[in-house]
Amino acid sequence: MLSYSSSTDFELTNLLRKGDNNAFNEIYKRFQGLLYVYACKVIKDKEEAEDIVQEVFLYLWDKRATINITSTISVYLYTAVRYKFFNLLDRKKVRINYEDSFRQFLEQGEYITDNNIRQKEFSKLIEQEIDALPDKMREVFVLSRKHYLSRKEIAEQLGISEKTVKNQINHALKILRGKIDLFTFLLLLFNK
């Protein structure tokens, strides 16, 4: 009967390639503790070190038939731990970059959203104030500012003089400026 504990690393590796579970168990017993100590020195986190060592052994068993070990099993295992460590660093870096990017988006997104909400509220208030203007003044103002008609065009369309159009627009602007200045002041006051 074959004694796995007295077998060389080379013999165990050959048996492992053939799917020998006992050979795998012996390799695990020989190297798990040493790899864990090595991983702890490299990683400085015991749980992550343990996870990496387990991943290396899982990979070793899963790929036992196709694994290409060009030197010794010990060199292969130590290299695999180091490789997993670098993968972990890359994942952490990506995660940190993602977290930074997400945090930046939230900070800027909140600012942008807040500004959009304020702008919509402000536009709504202006529309309400325009709607509150006297009928004829509102009609003149809307034709001027929303439909971009000239004073002459408005005067012809409404059958009034250009001077009346000018006066109505100026008066509407004066009313709206007073209201807008009040709204701007209130917005600044409550958003500090």
- Separation CA 141–CA 166 (nearest Å): 10
DSSP structure string for 120-167:
HHHHHHHHHHHHTS-HHHHHHHHHHHTS---HHHHHHHHT--HHHHHH
CATH: 1.10.10, 1.10.1740, 2.60.40, 1.10.3470. Which one for 132-190? 1.10.10
pLDDT < 70: residue spans in the chain: 1, 92, 94-119, 122, 180-192
Of 126, 124, 120, nearest in space to 173 by CA: 126
> What fold is seen in the domain 4-97?
Rna Polymerase Sigma Factor; Chain: A (1.10.1740)
Amino acid 82: pLDDT: 87
User: Which residue has 């002041």 as its token pair?
Assistant: 185
Give the domain ranges of the chain. Answer: 4-97, 132-190
Half-sphere exposure (CA, 13 Å, Cβ side) for 127?
A: 7
4-97 and 132-190 in the same fold: no
What is the model's pLDDT at position 96? 64
pLDDT at position 103: 63
